[in-house]
């Protein structure tokens, strides 16, 4: 590897939220200069309330801290191994929350603000970047989040040639394939259509009788819904998708003539009985471990979704990788627009980080900030950082953002949706544990636990190898 002097140009980071703050810390920790531009308090967003850096806009939870059994807990562990400021500040400001990592939000934000303020290589400028950054900023990270200010969002939209950047996400639930009961459900495409890139058996189908359909519609109508916030009311719907419960309100048969139509499909488990309605699930990731419920975008509260959707035959034991939802969000069509270094293909001096890239959640946003910080720091040294292995939580999330999602013709031109980290984004294990250490066979639920633990152990071992192969070399150079 050639060794070059660090570039005297600073890394300009726009937005000091979860992602931008972590990115600034990583660049400065690697010896790079940073100018961090944050528009608050000069200009506030609709959700932020303070001038603190890394303000948590809603819940104070970083979710599970169980690195052995939970994908977000694993992400915490990986970030700690990489010296994350966000994790350090969270650990120092923890409040009791069972197995979750919850924080005192003011203490957390104050700790991040102080660490960045005190760092000699970081300059913080309180200003809005109201358009594309000046051309002489050669190494830029845009981390302006789901509530990016309008002038910058408009400039990015024009640059990327996308028709829109802020949407109501119409998010449908995503299910782990191995939790679907295939003795009830079956693989088939409507009319066995092969289509471009299909096999004729691309969808998982769940059949319903008339009684089951009627009970399902009643449950949808009765289920508790989330309200829109005032400031969300002027944002357009993404692809004009209507929530499933709104379709049900329009008439009892609406769903049966829409996403649940029972035509062009034959149930191989009971070929002579025609289902009254059918729920379809479509492959959501290249690995084939996750399936999304087609047309099931919803504003039902999370508890109601789990209860109602588990009444669908075949989904009684469904494990959800993500539940549905509708909320305003600003995010790029990253698989199309960003390269594996999170640079905009159309203008590589601009890197993107945080929720704008299509991850979802505080921890995920901070983790992508961490990766972009490492990449930008490597750039200042004239290196290109190899991405973390896809078997790690960081690599799995990066894979989802920059290439793991599959586009299908019937979901429209932009089906990429933000996603939390989950084990469905990881490549399968080469051998799945079947026995306990004492040689007895694992039961079904024990197998699921053993699988997650084996994936976590693989992730941490692979991350350690990546750190010693790539980051120690970079730091030494």
The number of beta carbons lying within 10 Å of the beta carbon of residue 98 is 7
Name which position in 29, 144, 422, 456 contacts ligand FAD (CB under 6 A): 144
Total residues at the site for ligand FAD (CB under 6 A)? 33
Stretch that binds ligand FAD, among 42-50, 197-205, 233-241, 380-388 (CB under 6 A): 42-50
Measured from the CB of residue 353, what is the shortest distance to ligand FAD in angstroms?
Answer: 7
Is 143 near ligand FAD (CB under 6 A)?
yes
Is 456 near ligand FAD (CB under 6 A)?
no
Stretch that binds ligand FAD, among 18-26, 157-165, 206-214, 375-383 (CB under 6 A): 18-26
CB-closest chain residue to ligand FAD = 17
Pair of tokens at residue 197:
């890139």
Say which DSSP state 257 is in.
Answer: G
The CA–CA distances, whole Å, from 115 to 93, 119, 444 equal: 14, 6, 46
Is 19 near ligand FAD (CB under 6 A)?
yes
Is 358 near ligand FAD (CB under 6 A)?
no
3-state secondary structure of 347: strand
Separation between Cα atoms, residue 446 and residue 286, nearest integer Å: 26
Name which position in 128, 162, 239, 319 contacts ligand FAD (CB under 6 A): 128
Measured from the CB of residue 145, what is the shortest distance to ligand FAD in angstroms?
Answer: 2
Cβ distance to ligand FAD smaller for residue 46 or 469? 46
Name which position in 12, 24, 33, 48 contacts ligand FAD (CB under 6 A): 48
Measured from the CB of residue 82, what is the shortest distance to ligand FAD in angstroms?
Answer: 17
Is 299 near ligand FAD (CB under 6 A)?
no
- Identify whether the C-beta of residue 99 lies closer than 8 Å to the C-beta of residue 65: yes
Separation between Cα atoms, residue 466 and residue 477, nearest integer Å: 16
3-state DSSP percent of the chain in helix, strand and coil, to 5 = 35, 15, 45
Cβ distance to ligand FAD smaller for residue 119 or 328? 328
Separation between Cα atoms, residue 166 and residue 154, nearest integer Å: 10
- Identify whether the C-beta of residue 100 lies closer than 8 Å to the C-beta of residue 107: no
Measured at the alpha carbon of residue 406, what is the angle toward residues 401 and 410, in degrees to the nearest 5? 130
Name which position in 11, 25, 28, 40 contacts ligand FAD (CB under 6 A): 40
Name which position in 27, 38, 156, 267 contacts ligand FAD (CB under 6 A): 38
Pair of tokens at residue 233:
């009311």
Name which position in 25, 167, 213, 362 contacts ligand FAD (CB under 6 A): 362
Stretch that binds ligand FAD, among 349-357, 406-414, 432-440, 455-463 (CB under 6 A): 349-357
Is 45 near ligand FAD (CB under 6 A)?
yes
Cβ distance to ligand FAD smaller for residue 356 or 459? 356
Supply the angle between the helices 105-118 and 18-29 in degrees, to the nearest 10.
30
| Number of alpha carbons in the 13 Å side-chain half-sphere of residue 292 | 27
Is 129 near ligand FAD (CB under 6 A)?
yes
Pair of tokens at residue 280:
């379809």
- Identify whether the C-beta of residue 55 lies closer than 8 Å to the C-beta of residue 48: yes
Measured from the CB of residue 441, what is the shortest distance to ligand FAD in angstroms?
Answer: 38
Is 86 near ligand FAD (CB under 6 A)?
no
Say which DSSP state 210 is in.
Answer: H
Name which position in 365, 411, 415, 422 contacts ligand FAD (CB under 6 A): 365
Which helix (H) or strand (E) segment holds residue 125: the answer is: strand 122-126
Question: 113's torsion region: left (phi>0), alpha (psi -120 to 50) or beta?
Answer: alpha
Would you say how long the chain is, in residues? Answer: 477
Measured from the CB of residue 358, what is the shortest distance to ligand FAD in angstroms?
Answer: 11
Is 223 near ligand FAD (CB under 6 A)?
no
Binding site for ligand FAD (CB under 6 A): 14-20, 37-40, 45, 47-48, 57-59, 128-129, 143-149, 152, 354-356, 361-362, 365
């Amino acid at each position: 590897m050639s060794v070059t002097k660090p570039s005297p140009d600073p890394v300009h980071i726009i937005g000091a939220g979860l992602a931008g703050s972590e990115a600034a810390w990583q660049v400065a920790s690697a010896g790079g200069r940073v100018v961090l531009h944050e528009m608050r308090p000069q200009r506030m967003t609709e959700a932020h309330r303070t001038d603190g850096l890394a303000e948590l806009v809603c819940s104070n939870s970083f979710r599970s801290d169980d690195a052995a059994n939970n994908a977000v807990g694993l992400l915490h562990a990986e970030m700690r191994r990489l010296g994350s400021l966000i994790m350090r500040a969270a650990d120092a400001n923890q409040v009791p929350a069972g197995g979750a990592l919850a924080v005192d939000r003011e203490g957390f934000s104050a700790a991040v603000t102080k660490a960045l303020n005190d760092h000699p290589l970081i300059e913080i400028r309180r200003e809005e970047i109201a358009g594309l950054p000046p051309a002489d900023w050669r190494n830029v990270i845009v981390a302006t989040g789901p509530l990016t200010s309008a002038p910058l969002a408009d400039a990015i939209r024009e640059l990327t040639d996308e028709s829109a950047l802020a949407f109501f996400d119409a998010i449908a639930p995503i299910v782990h394939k191995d939790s679907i009961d295939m003795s009830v459900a079956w693989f088939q495409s409507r009319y066995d259509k092969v289509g471009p890139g299909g096999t004729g058996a691309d969808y998982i189908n769940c059949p319903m009788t008339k009684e089951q359909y009627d009970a399902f519609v009643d449950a949808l109508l009765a289920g508790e819904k989330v309200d829109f916030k005032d400031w969300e009311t002027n944002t357009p719907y993404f692809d004009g998708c209507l929530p499933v419960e709104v379709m049900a309100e329009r008439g009892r048969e609406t769903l049966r003539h829409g996403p649940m139509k029972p035509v062009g499909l034959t149930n191989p488990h009971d070929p002579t009985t025609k289902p009254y309605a059918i729920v379809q699930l479509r492959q959501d990731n290249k690995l084939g471990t996750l399936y999304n419920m087609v047309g099931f975008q919803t504003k039902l509260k999370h508890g109601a979704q789990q209860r109602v959707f588990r009444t669908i035959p075949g989904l009684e034991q469904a494990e959800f990788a993500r539940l549905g939802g509708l909320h305003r969000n600003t995010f790029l069509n990253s698989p199309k627009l960003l390269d594996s270094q999170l640079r905009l293909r159309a203008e590589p001096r601009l890197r993107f980080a945080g929720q704008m890239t299509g991850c979802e959640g505080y921890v995920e946003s901070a983790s992508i900030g961490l990766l972009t910080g490492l990449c930008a720091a490597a750039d200042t040294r004239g290196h290109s950082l190899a991405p973390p292995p896809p078997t790690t939580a960081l690599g799995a999330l990066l894979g989802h953002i920059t290439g793991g999602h599959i586009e299908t013709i019937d979901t429209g031109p932009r089906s990429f949706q933000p996603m939390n980290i989950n084990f469905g984004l990881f490549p399968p294990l080469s051998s799945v544990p079947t026995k306990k250490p004492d040689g007895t066979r694992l039961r079904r639920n024990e197998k699921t636990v053993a699988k997650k633990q084996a994936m976590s152990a693989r992730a941490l071992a692979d991350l350690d190898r990546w750190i010693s192969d790539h980051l120690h070399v970079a730091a030494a150079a």
